[in-house]
Amino acid sequence: MNSLKILLVLLALAIPHFSSVAENTMDNLNFSGDLRLRYEYQDNENTMNRGRARFRLRFNVKTKIDDNWSVGFRLASGSNNDPTSTNQSMDDNFTEKSIWIDRVYAVYRQGNFTFTGGKMANPFVSTSIIWDKDINPEGAAEQWHFGKTGYITLAQMVLNENSTESDAYLVAVQGGIKLKYFSFNLAWYSFNNYVENAPAARGNLFENNTEYTLIDFLVKIHATDHLSFWAEYVNNTDAEDTATTGDKENTAIDIGFSYRYEDWKFKTKYADIEPNAVVGAFADSDFGYANRKGLQLAVERKLRKRVALKLAFFDTKQSTGSGNSAKTLQFDLKFNF
């Protein structure tokens, strides 16, 4: 009986302490997510027309460890073999759908310096002709900010570990300045041993020892708080003449503008991505990866504070050669929570 009394006294003393620790831990946790319901219709010249009902679900967890360190992860729908999409088609007769690790990372911040390691949000400033918006690279990135005007980003990314061939990896550096009405970004990406480890061509022509070392220029003009323009030029300095066309096929451009008016958003762009200008497997999947050119139009209307309706239209064809034109229409209902 005395032992029981002692145990009860100890529990009475300890519970307030553990309750305080748990409360502090929960205070540092941050949860967020989004859900997108989509109907997509594709009219493709070379294949049967296709209509798909799809969804995207993402769930974020972040927590601050101390004044310098924080960690987080994100779970998402989709598949384990496509880094450019977290879409899940509604098919297979009501079967269960998968959830994957979309991000998992640690962040260290000290003054104007930030280090990120793991599978992270894309640290580079770019349009989608190089990086699809769903790409979450893996490795390490270091960034220095110089006030609100300039930045430099270094990155060392793992592409593929190979037991029989050389490992594939990416090293990159990007710098930029941002002024009131103008911003400029210059990046250098070196994809090493990529071709022999490529997950898919996605429009690339793997011919005549072409590799991928990209120089990327991106200029943005912020005309007003609501209207902005951009122009991006990419050159693959490691491209060789292809057997298919006899040219290097190594440049890409992306030109467009966006406009906001109250609860409305408008966006239009033209892009021309030659077959060996960018790494096709990581480029914009909605536009059609590499070796595509054409227009994108989009309009979005906010229905509630965290609910929006979006309509997007793509009209593209091969950048080189003829044929393989495609028209894609997407209806999205988006929720943030």
pLDDT in 10s for each residue of the chain, 337 residues? 555 556 555 555 555 554 554 555 467 899 999 999 999 999 998 888 999 999 999 999 999 999 999 999 999 999 888 999 999 999 999 999 999 999 999 999 999 999 999 999 999 999 999 999 999 999 999 999 999 899 999 999 999 998 888 999 999 999 999 999 999 999 999 999 999 999 999 999 999 999 999 999 999 999 999 999 999 999 999 999 998 889 999 999 999 999 999 999 999 999 999 999 999 999 999 999 999 999 999 999 999 999 999 999 999 999 997 778 999 999 999 999 9
Length of the chain equals 337
Residue 7 lies in a domain: no
Structural domain boundaries enclosing 127: 34-336
CATH of the domain at 294: 2.40.160.10
Residue 1 belongs to a domain: no
284 inside domain = yes
| pTM value > 0.85 | yes
Please report whether residue 185 resides in a domain.
yes
Euclidean distance between CA atoms 75 and 98, whole angstroms: 10
> Does a structural domain hold residue 39?
yes
The count of structural domains within the chain is 1
Tokens of 332: 């999205």
Angle at 305 between CA 120 and CA 125, to 5 degrees: 30
Side-chain half-sphere exposure of 332, counting CA atoms within 13 A:
23
Alpha carbons 38 and 64: distance in angstroms, whole number: 34
Instruction: Give domain status of residue 8, yes or no.
Output: no
Q: Within a domain: residue 304? A: yes
In this structure, is residue 26 part of a structural domain? no
